[in-house]
């Protein structure tokens, strides 16, 4: 993938996920939507970041009709992560996706840990399982935060670039590798909350829609404090995504805030257990 491929790669992935959401839609689930112009801009900025830093992890598949598939992946220290992976609807299930993933995996050669957030697409999970990933079901909590349930929150402050080292240390402790340059990307678009006391430290990002987007902490007490702060500071209608069974503390808070619990997708891992206390991000993990 080259920088000039990013807009077309965005279309391929948007079409792929829209068709997947339509195919997998549950009766009670949200109505599938195409990406908004704002979401599209965030997606393209993030993808340019991957292409710039990890050109060897980002690939497209083309035929005489143009681009038919795309994948973005990256290496951070000893960890490999998959960011996005899609084949155009109507072209799936015909052997385009597998070599694309193989190219992305080869970028991780020598890595000790491997992470991806899988959709529920039966083709995707089949391919990840074949590639040796353990699949851990993901939950998410959604709804309107009951403001009366929010406890008094102390020892949480706004974060800044001066917290980069602290955040990378917490990343190494929870997932085995710092986010490095991804923190700079997140800092440029998202709001950062930090807690750093003598008994524990942690951080949480709120995304452009005011929803918790990534959280890491040295213990559950600090993680809980940060998640409450993120709910208090964030949007009234929220979603806490990507919750694994190893993070039951998120359910304690989600239920206390009167959110609804659902299940979607899997955290795929190789060489590691589900990080905790940690709420991963779908693309930046």
Q: Tell me which residue has its CB nearest to ligand COA.
A: 97
C-alpha distance from residue 263 to each of 139, 186, 240, 259, 283 (Å): 4, 26, 11, 13, 18
Cα 17 from Cα 8, distance rounded (Å) = 14
- Give the nearer residue to ligand COA in terms of CB position, either 113 or 191: 113
**8-state DSSP, 247:** -
Q: Which is nearer to ligand COA, 92 or 218 (CB)?
A: 92
Q: What does the binding site for ligand COA look like in residue numbers (CB under 6 A)?
A: 16-17, 20, 85-87, 92-98, 118-119, 121-124, 126-127
Contact 219, 238 (CB under 8 A): no
Give the separation between CA 71 and CA 55, rounded to whole angstroms: 11
For the bound state, the minimum distance from the C-beta of residue 6 to ligand COA, rounded and expressed in Å, comes to 17
Name the residue nearer to ligand COA (CB basis): 73 or 92: 92
The HSE-up count of residue 43 (CA atoms within 13 Å, CB side) is: 20
- Of 96 and 251, nearer to ligand COA (C-beta) is 96
CB atoms within 10 A of CB 259: 24
CB of 215 to ligand COA, least distance (A): 21
What are the Cα distances from residue 2, in Å, to 16, 74, 98, 181, 182? 20, 15, 20, 19, 19
CB of 130 to ligand COA, least distance (A): 6
* Beta strand 113-118 pairing with 79-87: parallel
Cβ proximity to ligand COA, 102 vs 236, nearer residue? 102
Least distance (Å) from ligand COA to the CB of residue 32? 12
Please give the C-alpha separations between residue 243 and each of 91, 246, 252, 264, in angstroms, as whole numbers. Answer: 31, 8, 12, 10
Q: State the nearest-atom distance from the C-beta of 125 to ligand COA, in Å.
A: 8
Minimum CB distance to ligand COA smaller for 124 or for 145: 124
Tell the smallest beta-carbon distance from residue 84 to ligand COA (Å).
Answer: 7
Residues 6+ apart with CB under 8 A from 24: 120, 121
Rg of the chain on CA atoms, in Å: 18
> At its nearest, how many Å lie between ligand COA and the CB of residue 242?
12
Nearer to ligand COA, 5 or 121 (CB): 121
């Amino acid at each position: 993938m080259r920088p000039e491929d990013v807009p077309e790669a965005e279309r391929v992935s948007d079409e792929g996920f829209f068709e997947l959401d339509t195919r997998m839609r549950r009766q009670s689930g949200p109505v599938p939507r195409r990406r908004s112009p704002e979401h599209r801009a965030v997606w393209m900025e993030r993808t340019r970041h991957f292409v710039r830093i990890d050109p060897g992890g980002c690939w497209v598949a083309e035929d005489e009709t143009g681009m038919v598939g795309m994948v973005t992946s990256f290496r951070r220290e000893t960890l490999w992560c998959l960011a996005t992976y899609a084949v155009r609807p109507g072209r799936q299930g015909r052997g385009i996706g597998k070599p694309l993933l193989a190219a992305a995996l080869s970028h991780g050669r020598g890595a000790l840990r491997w992470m991806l957030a899988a959709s529920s697409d039966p083709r995707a999970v089949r391919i990840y399982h074949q590639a040796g990933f353990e699949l851990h079901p993901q939950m998410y909590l959604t709804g309107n935060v009951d403001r009366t349930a929010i406890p008094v929150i102390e020892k949480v402050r706004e974060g800044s670039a001066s917290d980069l080292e602290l955040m990378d240390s917490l990343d190494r402790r929870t997932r085995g590798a710092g986010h490095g340059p991804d923190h700079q990307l997140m800092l440029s678009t998202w709001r950062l909350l930090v807690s750093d006391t003598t008994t524990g430290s942690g951080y949480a990002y709120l995304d452009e829609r005011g929803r918790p987007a990534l959280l890491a902490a040295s213990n559950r007490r600090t993680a809980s404090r940060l998640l409450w702060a993120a709910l208090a500071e964030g949007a009234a209608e929220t979603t806490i995504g990507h919750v694994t069974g190893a993070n039951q503390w998120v359910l304690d808070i989600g239920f206390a805030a009167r959110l609804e619990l659902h299940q979607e997708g899997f955290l795929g891992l190789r060489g590691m257990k589900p990080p905790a206390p940690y709420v991963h991000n779908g693309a930046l993990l």
